[in-house]
Amino acid sequence: MDFELPEDLVLIRDAVKDYSESVLGPLAARHDRESELAPEVFAGLAELGLWGITIPEEYGGSGLPNLALCVALEELNRVCASTGVTVSVHNSLLGSPIMKYGSEQQMSTWLPRLASGECIGAYCLTEAGAGSDAAAVTTTARRDGDDWILNGTKIFVTNGGFAGLYVVYARTDPEAPKAKGISAFLVPRDTPGLSIGAHEKKTGIRGSSTTEILLEDARVSADLLLGPENGGFKIALETLDGGRIGIASQALGIGRACLEAAIRYAKEREQFGRPIGHFQAVGWKLADMSTRLDAARLLVYRAASLRDAGKPCTMQAAQAKLAASTTANFCADECLQIHGGAGYTDDFPVERFFRDARITEIYEGATDIQRLVIARNLLA
């Protein structure tokens, strides 16, 4: 068993780290303040190949494993969580299901555009009445000749404001049991009847785009059905396994940012004639943060490796997200406490880390849902 990253992933990690520190670092506070990503970030991510990091080379991507995506996401989120979640959703929640369930026509049409960053992807599952109970979606799709007509409203759609392609989950068989009558559709941004609704004003990850997506008699051709008719819920859940690994990687990055900021401050801040890091109460906080982050990272890498091997990873992805997200929030809380009153101001990025960390326990399945998934697998 080798705990060292392969050389190619080390090179990717270092390249993304350099980009994050040199480009995203000066922009992160602006992204948070202005609630949008700077335009140059999209081009920079394309140059690094991050929009298509897991897309096969034959479709213009880098053809790298999910583990590479995890490594890249940790580095992005360590500096700017708004950028990190944008890349995570694009790869994990749209690129991944097209690669696994898409037809050759769908892959050849969309994967090159996704890989280049020409087209950014978004995932439309959540509704006002369908959150943790994802099978309760009420968005409908009815057949009309060679087309499908979609009606409904999706909420909390990451990348919603600028995406070029949405995967939309809609009910195609109203008579079937909840999870049995849902299908997945690829819906281009220029589809008549698709419009952008409210832009959410969020506590954290403010630079990412989070919107409603409104579907009013939106007509899509039958060849945009992703996977089998009425097989969409299985696609949604399998896709979320990858999404949870991505958000776990985001949580690692935020948690690491907190640890590094806490170490710097503990060395610089003096009280009672010496740096506060020399006091046991502070040192133990750093020790706990470091240990929990390393343990969570091993869980994330295990889940990603299983997914890369084509093995079941639902429980392992849930464990990784549970551990990493709770650790990120633990680290954010301890980091702010170490900074004291200074950390509660915007003179330090700590308050942004604190706000950004909180969402990792909510989206891609709340912490309670991860525990439910794990328990069900243990009792199966």
Each residue of 233-259: pLDDT tens digit?
Answer: 999 999 999 999 999 999 999 999 999
Q: Environment class of residue 3 by beta-carbon count within 10 Å: exposed (0-12), middle (13-18) or buried (19+)? A: exposed
Q: 2 in a domain, yes or no?
A: no
Per-residue pLDDT of 36-74, as tens digits, reads: 999 999 999 999 999 999 999 999 999 999 999 999 999
Do 139 and 95 fall within a single domain? no
Residue 112 has pLDDT above 80, yes or no: yes
| Contact call for residues 191 and 124 (beta carbons, < 8 A) | no
- How much of the chain, in percent, has pLDDT values that exceed 90? 99
Do 102 and 63 fall within a single domain? yes
Do 225 and 314 fall within a single domain? no
Do 82 and 140 fall within a single domain? no
3-class SS of residue 64: coil
- What number is the average pLDDT over the span 256-284? 98
Looking at residue 216, its pLDDT comes to 98
Q: Which of 120, 150, 185 is the last residue of a domain?
A: 120
Do 150 and 284 fall within a single domain? no
Residue 190 has pLDDT above 80, yes or no: yes
The one catalytic residue among 200, 238, 334, 364 = 364
| Contact call for residues 170 and 150 (beta carbons, < 8 A) | yes
| Contact call for residues 253 and 84 (beta carbons, < 8 A) | yes
CATH number at residue 227: 2.40.110.10
Do 199 and 302 fall within a single domain? no
Query: Does 364 qualify as catalytic in the annotation?
Result: yes
* Closest to 259 (Cα-Cα) out of 290, 300, 291: 290
Number of independent structural domains in the chain: 3
CATH number at residue 327: 1.20.140.10
User: DSSP secondary-structure letter at 366?
Assistant: -
Looking at residue 91, its pLDDT comes to 98
**Cα(111)–Cα(117) distance, integer angstroms:** 10
Q: Which of 120, 137, 153 is the last residue of a domain?
A: 120
Per-residue pLDDT of 316-335, as tens digits, reads: 999 999 999 999 999 999 99
| Contact call for residues 121 and 90 (beta carbons, < 8 A) | yes
- Residue indicated by tokens 């969570």: 296
User: DSSP secondary-structure letter at 138?
Assistant: -
Q: 46 in a domain, yes or no?
A: yes
The letter for the amino acid at 288 is D
Residue 1 has pLDDT above 90, yes or no: no
Q: Which of 200, 233, 266 is the last residue of a domain?
A: 233
Range of the domain at 244: 234-379
User: DSSP secondary-structure letter at 94?
Assistant: I
Do 155 and 180 fall within a single domain? yes
Q: 374 in a domain, yes or no?
A: yes
Looking at residue 40, its pLDDT comes to 97
| H/E run at residue 200 | none
Do 68 and 147 fall within a single domain? no
Do 277 and 348 fall within a single domain? yes
DSSP lists the bridge partners of residue 122 as 166
Per-residue pLDDT of 68-98, as tens digits, reads: 999 999 999 999 999 999 999 999 999 999 9
